[in-house]
C-alpha cells in the first residue's frame, strides 16, 4: 500500500485530532486551558477547579465546584483488596509501575462500561482523580515498610496528598505551591501520554485502562520521567564550576540535557517560568537548595550554546527542585506528574468519546515480498542468514 502522505517520524506536526481543550503557541510561549492562560490559572485557580474546567469545558459555579470537591473528598479511600495487592509489590519497584498496575486494577472493581451514560463518566472522573493520589502515597509508605494512612476529609486535595505522603499536615504555602504545580502539569495538548490515552479510549475500553496506558507512556525519560532525570543530572554535575564542561561534553557526545528542549516550545516553556518562581518562594521560606545554583548556571550555559536550536528549559527542569523542597522523593516526581495529568487524560477521553473513531493509522512497508519459506535444516548460520536478509533489503 502506498502512503497517501509523507511519513513524519514521531508524527511531528501531523494533526491527530481536533480539540478545544488546550492550546500551545510554541513560538510565543503561551499555554491555555479552554482559552484561559496558564499563568492566570496558576494565580487564581485550584487544581480541582482547573480539572473541572478541562473536563467539562467551563469554569464551575461555586455550587458545582463544592459538589465536585465533595465527591472527590469522599472517594479518596482505596478498597482493602487494592491495598493488599500493593503489599505484594516489590519495594524496589518503580512507583510509576506500581501506579500503572493500580490504575489498571481499578477496572476490576468498577468495570461496568457505560460510556454513553454521563453518570458513569462522572463517577469514573471522580474515582480516578480521587484515588490516584492515595495510591501514590500508599505505595510510598508501604515500600518503607509502613501501613498507608487514611486520607483526611478535613484537608483539601493537595494538602491531603502531602499529608498521606509525609504523615504530617503540610505548611499552607507548601500545599498551595504543590496545588499550583498540579495545575501546571494538568494538560498539554496531544503529548505522548495523552495520545496514548486517546488511542486506548478510541477502542471504547474502560477509563481505567485508558489511564493505565497513559501512565505507562508518561513514565519514559523523554516524557514525564525527565524531572527525575534532572535531579540525577544536577547531582552528577555536583557544582557550578562543573556546569560548562558538562554541557560541552553533552554537545560533543550528542547526548540530551534533561529538562531542556520541547517538540512544540522553541522558547522557554511558560510552565518553567512559573515553576522557577515557585522554587524561589520555596527556598525563601524553607531554605536554599544548592542544586538551584547549578540549575541557574546550567540554564545560562545551555542558552548560550543551544538557544539557536530553540532549546530552552521545559516544565521538568524546575519542577524537581520544588518537589525536593516539599520532601517528595525523586522517584515520585513522575507519579506526581501523573496525579495532575489524569485531569488532561480524562478530558481527552471524554472528548474522544464524543466523536469517536478508532485510531488506525497506516504505515509505509519497507520489507520484502514473496519470500520463500526455508525449512529449518536448510537454513545457514544466523550470521549468514542475517547477511542474506541485509542484502535482500538493499
Considering the candidates 179, 188, 206, 262, report the single residue annotated as catalytic: 262
Closest CA to 197 of 103, 68, 108: 103
44 annotated active-site: no
Least separation in angstroms between CB 82 and ligand ACO = 28
Nearer to ligand ACO, 48 or 258 (CB): 258
SS3 296: helix
Nearer to ligand ACO, 177 or 311 (CB): 311
E strands present in 191-245: none
The packing angle between helices 172-185 and 47-56, to 10°, is: 20
Nearer to ligand ACO, 258 or 282 (CB): 258
Phi/psi for 64 (5° steps) reads -65, -40
Nearer to ligand ACO, 6 or 378 (CB): 6
DSSP state of 72: H
Determine the Cα angle at 45 with ends 154 and 214, to 5°.
Answer: 85
Least separation in angstroms between CB 189 and ligand ACO = 11
Closest CA to 99 of 318, 331, 346: 331
Contact 33, 57 (CB under 8 A): no
Residues 6+ apart with CB under 8 A from 40: none
Least separation in angstroms between CB 69 and ligand ACO = 27
Quote the CA–CA distance of 139 and 215 in Å, as a whole number: 15
Quote the CA–CA distance of 196 and 212 in Å, as a whole number: 10
Nearer to ligand ACO, 132 or 186 (CB): 186
Nearer to ligand ACO, 122 or 266 (CB): 266
Nearer to ligand ACO, 179 or 269 (CB): 269
Least separation in angstroms between CB 271 and ligand ACO = 9
Nearer to ligand ACO, 309 or 360 (CB): 309
Strands 30-33 and 22-25: antiparallel
Quote the CA–CA distance of 320 and 229 in Å, as a whole number: 9
Least separation in angstroms between CB 227 and ligand ACO = 8
Q: What are the residues facing 32 on neighbouring strands?
A: 23, 37
262 annotated active-site: yes
Least separation in angstroms between CB 346 and ligand ACO = 18
Considering the candidates 179, 206, 269, 316, report the single residue annotated as catalytic: 316
Find the residue with minimal CB distance to ligand ACO. Answer: 261
Closest CA to 48 of 25, 19, 68, 28: 68
Contact 314, 259 (CB under 8 A): yes
Q: Count other C-beta atoms under 10 Å from residue 130's C-beta.
A: 21
Closest CA to 177 of 345, 339, 325: 325
- Residues in contact with ligand ACO by CB under 6 A are 10, 191, 222-224, 226, 254, 256-263, 306, 309, 311, 314-316
Residues 6+ apart with CB under 8 A from 394: none
Residue 124 grid cell: 469514573
Catalytic residue numbers read: 262, 316
Amino acid at each position: 500500500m502506498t502512503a497517501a502522505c509523507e511519513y513524519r517520524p514521531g508524527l511531528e506536526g501531523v494533526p491527530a485530532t481536533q480539540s478545544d481543550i488546550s492550546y500551545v503557541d510554541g513560538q510565543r510561549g503561551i499555554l491555555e486551558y479552554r482559552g484561559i492562560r496558564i499563568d492566570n490559572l496558576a494565580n487564581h485557580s485550584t487544581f480541582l477547579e482547573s480539572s473541572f474546567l478541562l473536563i467539562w469545558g467551563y469554569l464551575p459555579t461555586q455550587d458545582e465546584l463544592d459538589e465536585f470537591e465533595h465527591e472527590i473528598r469522599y472517594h479518596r479511600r482505596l478498597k482493602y483488596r487494592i491495598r493488599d495487592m500493593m503489599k505484594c509489590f516489590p519495594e524496589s519497584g518503580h512507583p510509576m509501575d506500581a501506579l500503572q498496575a493500580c490504575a489498571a486494577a481499578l477496572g476490576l472493581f468498577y468495570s461496568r462500561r457505560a460510556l454513553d451514560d454521563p453518570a458513569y463518566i462522572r463517577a469514573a472522573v471522580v474515582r480516578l482523580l480521587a484515588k490516584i493520589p492515595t495510591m501514590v502515597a500508599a505505595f510510598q509508605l508501604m515500600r518503607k515498610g509502613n501501613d498507608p494512612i487514611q486520607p483526611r476529609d478535613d484537608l483539601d486535595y493537595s494538602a491531603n496528598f502531602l499529608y498521606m505522603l509525609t504523615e504530617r499536615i503540610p505548611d499552607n504555602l507548601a500545599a498551595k505551591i504543590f496545588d499550583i504545580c498540579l495545575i501546571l502539569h494538568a494538560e498539554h495538548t496531544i503529548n505522548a501520554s495523552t495520545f496514548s490515552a486517546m488511542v486506548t479510549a478510541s477502542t471504547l475500553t474502560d477509563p481505567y485502562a485508558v489511564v493505565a496506558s497513559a501512565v505507562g507512556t508518561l513514565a519514559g525519560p523523554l516524557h514525564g520521567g525527565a524531572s527525575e532525570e534532572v535531579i540525577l543530572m544536577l547531582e552528577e554535575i555536583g557544582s557550578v564550576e562543573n556546569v560548562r564542561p558538562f554541557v560541552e561534553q553533552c554537545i560533543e557526545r550528542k547526548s540530551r540535557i534533561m529538562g531542556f528542549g520541547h517538540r512544540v516550545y522553541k522558547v522557554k516553556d511558560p510552565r518553567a517560568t512559573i515553576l522557577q518562581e515557585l522554587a524561589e518562594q520555596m527556598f525563601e521560606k524553607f531554605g536554599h537548595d544548592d542544586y538551584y545554583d547549578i540549575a541557574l548556571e546550567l540554564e545560562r550555559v545551555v542558552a548560550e550554546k543551544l538557544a539557536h536550536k530553540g532549546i530552552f528549559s521545559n516544565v521538568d527542569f524546575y519542577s524537581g527542585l520544588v518537589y525536593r523542597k516539599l520532601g517528595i522523593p525523586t522517584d515520585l516526581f513522575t507519579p506526581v506528574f501523573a496525579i495532575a495529568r489524569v485531569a488532561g487524560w480524562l478530558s481527552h477521553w471524554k472528548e474522544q468519546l464524543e466523536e469517536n473513531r478508532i485510531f488506525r493509522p497506516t504505515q509505509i512497508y519497507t520489507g520484502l515480498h514473496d519470500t520463500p519459506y526455508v525449512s529449518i535444516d536448510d537454513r545457514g548460520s544466523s550470521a549468514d542468514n542475517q547477511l542474506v536478509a541485509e542484502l535482500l533489503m538493499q
